[in-house]
Each structure stands twice: as C-alpha cells, then as structure tokens.
Structure 1
C-alpha cells in the first residue's frame, strides 16, 4: 500500500503552483584589447546583445549558449564552460507574463579576423560592433549597460555575479 504524504500534489498540479520563467543563455566575447563585442538587435537601435537566445525545451543553458552562438554568428564555440552571471528579470505584467532567467557564459577573446568573419542572421541582428566600456555607455540603455558592466567586471575579476532587473 502506497501512502501519500499530507499536502503532496501530483507533479502536474504542483507545477501549476510555482513560478514560471522563460530562460536564455549567451556567450560574452571581447576583442584582443578587452573591448566587448556586441550585436545590434533588429528590433531596436539601442538594443545590443551577445550571441544567445531562449533555451529550447529540455536544453541546458550551456547547450543553448553554444547553439545560439553558432546560429547567430557562425562561430563554433569549443571553449570552456565558465559562467559569468546569472540574471533574473521579474514578471512585468502584460509586457511579459513570466519571470525571465538568464545565464551569461565567458566566450573568451576573438581576434580581429574572427570578428570580421562573423556571419549574422539578418532576422535577428544588423551589425557587429566593438567599443570600450565608455563607448558602449553612450550607445546603450542604462539597464542594458548595467548588465554589460556587471558581466565585464565578473570576467575581469574571475568572479560570478548575480543581477536582478
């Protein structure tokens, strides 16, 4: 005879009671001078991103970051699996009906030839640019730049960071 613990719910019912979230993963690259490499999104002049995107069902964050990097840049990433940041964005009502969780991994350094050979998916990105942090600060929204700055600091200091917002 199987005894069901008090308060226990079948998995399909329990899942309805917990927070829901979409999740993304990306790779953070710099050039040989330590300057961040970013891609301009097709949906906003101020939206700059790293190669990455939403995780597919049953895909790990690492698998997603590597897959998205290949799809968005043509780069076959074979580097080490090193987390730089975890990012949480809370539910925003009608704007986005779920929490959003992100994982930013260290993509390492790209030489000029690698940057020049990036092949963008024109449905997602319009250009690749490399700038100093001061240059990026002038081109990005304050919220997006705060994420860039935190991830860049984590990389330079060898730490992992957690961000909200």
Structure 2
C-alpha cells in the first residue's frame, strides 16, 4: 500500500495542508532513497538511508508502534560539497555571513500514509548544515560523519515541521 502511495504524483490539497494531531503515533517509519538511486547517487544512497533511519528512530522515539499511519521520508537530493578545512566569514564586525560552498544539503519530503495507501500529509523539507560538521576534512571518516550529522538535523527539524515537538 505504501508503495502505491509513493507512486502517486498529485496529492489532494487537503493532504498538503493538513496538520498532525500532537499525539500522533506512527505504525512504522520508512526511508525511501530511490530518487537518489535514480540520479546516480547510489554510492551514497544506502549510507543516507541507514543514517536517516537511525536519526528518525531517535527523533520519533515513543511515537512508533501501533495502528497509526506510516511515516515515509523520501530523500530527493544530497549535496556534500568539497570541504578543505577553511570557513569564510563576511559581514563585518561579529562575523556573520558564511560561504554557501561550504554547505551540505539534504532534501526530501515526508509523507504520512494511512493503511489504505492514502497520503494524508506531505511535508517537503531542505536541511542545510556546515560542511565542517564531519570534523577534519582529511579524515577518511569525515564524509560519513557529515551524512550522519545532516540526517540528525533533518530528523529533528522534520519532527518540528510536523508539529510533533
């Protein structure tokens, strides 16, 4: 049923504008990375899926289990920009500003899908984090940490965006 809902391209206006009741519980949380696979980001897709699944489980702890709708997070884009260990500051006194080329992005949408496959709510979201979030750029594990960081950022803001915090 959830797969059929994911195939839908047009949603009724009510599904796009609805808000979740504060006590909403989900029967499950799924992460769909097929859009990443379709754009040739297969090298990252499984890592993003695993990190985002873990981050969502943590962010929505206590809200999963039972007969509620399914929360499906479809990842539509990932951008990990090259980071060479420097940050650019501008804006005069006090720093401010920044450098957009040192920013990582995770883009997607959350779909709340009922047992019949009807999309109850659609919530698009873009998360942006500093490319330095993975620590030292020369560390081979830096990129994995960046993906984990942006997945946690995405999950936390999704909970807020759905009105469940």
Fold conserved between structures, TM > 0.5: no
Higher strand residue share: 1
TMscore range, shorter length: under 0.3
Which structure has the bigger radius of gyration? 1
Higher helix residue share: 2
Query: Could you state the TM-score of these two structures normalised by the residue count of structure 2?
Result: 0.26
